[in-house]
Amino acid sequence: EAKISGDRYLFYTKQMSDRVTETLALESSLRTALERNEFVLHYQPKVDICNRQLEGVEALIRWNSPQFGLVPPLKFIPLLEETGLIVEVGSWVWRRASRDYADWLAQGVFAPRIAVNMSVVQLRRHDFVSTIAALQKSTEESVEIDIEITESTAMDEVADSIEKLHELYALGINIAIDDFGTGYSSLAYLAKLPAHVLKIDRSFISTMLEDPDKMSLVSTMISLAHSMHMKVVAEGVETQDQANMLRLLRCDQMQGYLVAKPMPFEQMTAYIRNRELN
């Protein structure tokens, strides 16, 4: 008995130390990634569920590491948060998105509003709003950047969130509550958040056609959002059947592989131009 559990213990510590080593390697190269310009933004369209008109795009960060390849955000965002580097990277995301938007304006193509994701670490800082205000001031006035905040982030220290989101609203920034349905929001607080958009989490969309409980939750979330004068975006729509059902349920917009995967800036620009031709 004792020996088996002893071996197991060794086994786990070996795995754990491998993971620690990997994490340390990632962390040290993440520190220089910003200076070396290794981050890139990809853009994914959000379209009207009825006529498929382009309503906006979401900026999604990737790390193009010479050592690790193209690293998805879930692999490195938590590390950026732990080390506090997310604050600097978050500002970089805002500036990059602003420049891309300005580039669309300069090229004379339709410029969809860009939404950027905000980490809880950014939102909780006392200088969060002044940082955003300064970033906004340093870019062209016609640049429209919006913010996505996950439901759990918004509900963490909810009074602080409500205050800061109101200040952002006053700056003309639209706010979307991301991953909606995964947290445990009190409706009373939800109603107090000055958000324009609810994004229903992909986990509901991907299962609703097989699971009647999920379906009725999606339906309830849509009615709830509309009663609070919010628009609803369905995340992770992958099939036409899902899109048809969401249209019946009066969802406003959709985002997902059915429409397009996230793509680099140049490809997004071509995508916009193509739609203008059609």
Range 171-175, long-range pairs (CB < 8 A, 24+ positions): 171/129, 171/132, 171/133, 171/136, 173/132, 173/136, 173/145, 173/146, 173/147, 174/113, 174/115, 174/146, 174/147, 175/146, 175/147, 175/148, 175/149
- Minimum Å distance from CB 256 to ligand C2E? 3
Q: Does the protein bind Ca ion through residue 151 (CB under 5 A)? A: no
- Minimum Å distance from CB 232 to Ca ion? 13
| Residue placing its CB nearer to Ca ion in the complex, 29 or 44 | 44
* Binding test (CB under 5 A) with Ca ion, winner from 38, 100, 178, 252: 178
- The residue among 237, 266, 263, 264 whose CA lies nearest residue 249 is 237
Residues 26-45, interacting with ligand C2E (CB under 6 A): 44
Residue holding tokens 């732990």? 82
Residue holding tokens 């059902």? 245
3-state class of 150 per DSSP?
Answer: strand
Residues 257-276, interacting with ligand C2E (CB under 6 A): 257, 262
Task: Judge contact between 63 and 39, C-beta under 8 A.
Answer: yes
**Contact pattern for ligand C2E over residues 176 through 215, marking x by CB under 6 A:** --xx----------------------x-------------
Query: Of all helices (H) and strands (E), which one includes residue 179?
Result: strand 175-180
- The residue among 189, 186, 214 whose CA lies nearest residue 201 is 214
Residue 44: how many CB atoms within 10 A of its CB?
A: 20
**Contact pattern for ligand C2E over residues 87 through 126, marking x by CB under 6 A:** ------x----------------------xxxx-------
* Binding test (CB under 6 A) with ligand C2E, winner from 73, 125, 182, 194: 73
Residues touching ligand C2E: how many (CB under 6 A)? Answer: 23
| Residue placing its CB nearer to ligand C2E in the complex, 202 or 231 | 202
* Binding test (CB under 5 A) with Ca ion, winner from 38, 55, 146, 179: 179
Tokens for 244? Answer: 């048809």
Partner touching 233 among ligand C2E, Ca ion, none, CB below 5 to 8 Å by kind: none
* Binding test (CB under 5 A) with Ca ion, winner from 55, 100, 148, 151: 148
Cα first-last separation, the chain:
71
Q: Does the protein bind Ca ion through residue 252 (CB under 5 A)? A: no
Q: Does the protein bind ligand C2E through residue 69 (CB under 6 A)? A: no
Q: How far is CA 98 from CA 52, 133, 199, 256, in A?
A: 24, 13, 22, 23
Q: Does the protein bind ligand C2E through residue 236 (CB under 6 A)? A: yes
Binding site for Ca ion (CB under 5 A): 117, 148, 178-179, 235
* Residues at the site binding ligand C2E, with contacts judged by CB under 6 A: 44, 60-61, 72-74, 77, 93, 116-119, 148, 178-179, 202, 236-238, 255-257, 262
